[in-house]
A and B are shown apart, each in its own frame.
Chain A
Amino acid sequence: MPILDSIDRRLLSEFQRDLPLEPRPYAAMADRLGIGEAEVIARLARLSGQGVVSRVGPVFAANRAGCSTLAAMAVPPERLEEVACLINAYPQVNHNYERSHHFNLWFVVAAPRRDEVDAVLDDIRDRTGIEVLDLPLVADYHIDLGFDLQWN
């Protein structure tokens, strides 16, 4: 993990939301931090380059920009690589994690319409011969305020 000074940490902790919708948002951040606008931009560029900031911008609610579901499969360990490759090749799949459970493959399928999501799930079932659990979102309880980073 890269070494982060106190300004870097504040950039990561305190600016996960409420980026001002005004012409010079980084200048507004700079005012709060007591540094210059150019330094805010340079630090964000460095943190992005180091990979600790994935991006600066809007976080979209995935389920509202179209249809999506969380899918799970119980894949025999010897077939995991093959099945993961097959799944990852679908452009509609945007996350795919191996997890520690009998259902060991968990991925998100997103598409503009539900029938396209269904078609991808059916196709994966047909091509692998493995059942796919379809777990679409029913309710979202979370109020997303960003992630509570702990510095120690």
Chain B
Amino acid sequence: MTDSPLDPVDRRIVLATQAGLPLVERPYHAIAEAVGIPASEVMERLARMQRTGLIRRIGAVPDHYALGYAFNGMTVWDVADDDIAEAGARVAALPFVSHCYQRPRLLPDWPYCLFAMVHARDAGAAHALVAEIAAALGPLSRGHRVLFSTRILKKTGLRLAG
């Protein structure tokens, strides 16, 4: 995946679709009308944004919380710099991990450089998932924490300002 800058037309498409496609028979035509380009170009540009990685996927986005996945656990792992690529690949391969990122280690406050999100319906299920990650990492993990979300204070999703 290579980063490609958003040209002004891509940007208008992002703005017109980031809250969702309209639930009408021809949603891309509706977007095309709003953006002022042909529908074929909307579909081509969305396909290109998928290829370049700007768009991860296009489809129905379930709300974990509404479906009862109330336990959102941010698991954080202390992994040696030399092991991070291997550790990231192992954790990312677990089907229940919804995000898996390397972030900076900020010593002394923050030794954890590998982040993996898990979602479960109760605390027991969440801890079972954490145990699976720990097993996948084995000795690559030098320590970990699970930070459950106790309150959502703001959640608006990605919004590109118009």
Contacts and interface: CB of A to CB of B under 8 A. Distances in A.
Chains A and B are bound partners: yes
A72 B104 CA distance: 12
Given A97-B152, A137-B102, A11 B26 contact: no
Nearest to B55: A58
A37 to B, nearest CB: 7
B20 A55 contact: yes
A5 B133 CA distance: 32
Contact of A53 (B50, B62, B72, B91): B62
A21 B98 contact: no
A18 B55 CA distance: 11
Contacts of A41: 23-25
Interface string A113-152: 0000000000000000000011111111111111111000
A20 B155 CA distance: 28
Nearest to B28: A23
A7 B149 CA distance: 31
Contacts of B148: 99-100
Interface residues of A, number: 76
Interface of B, secondary structure class, is mixed
Given A60-B18, A60-B158, A95-B154, A55 B61 contact: yes
Interface string B65-107: 0111000101000000000110011011001111111111010
Interface residues of B, number: 76
B42 to A, nearest CB: 9
A56 B58 CA distance: 7
Interface of B: 3, 6, 14, 17-21, 23-29, 39, 43, 46-47, 49-50, 53-64, 66-68, 72, 74, 84-85, 88-89, 91-92, 95-104, 106, 109-110, 113, 115, 119, 145, 147-161
Given A23-B39, A57-B18, A138-B113, 14 more contacts: A1-B66, A1-B67, A15-B59, A16-B57, A16-B59, A45-B23, A56-B21, A57-B20, A97-B152, A135-B103, A136-B104, A137-B102, A141-B101, A144-B57
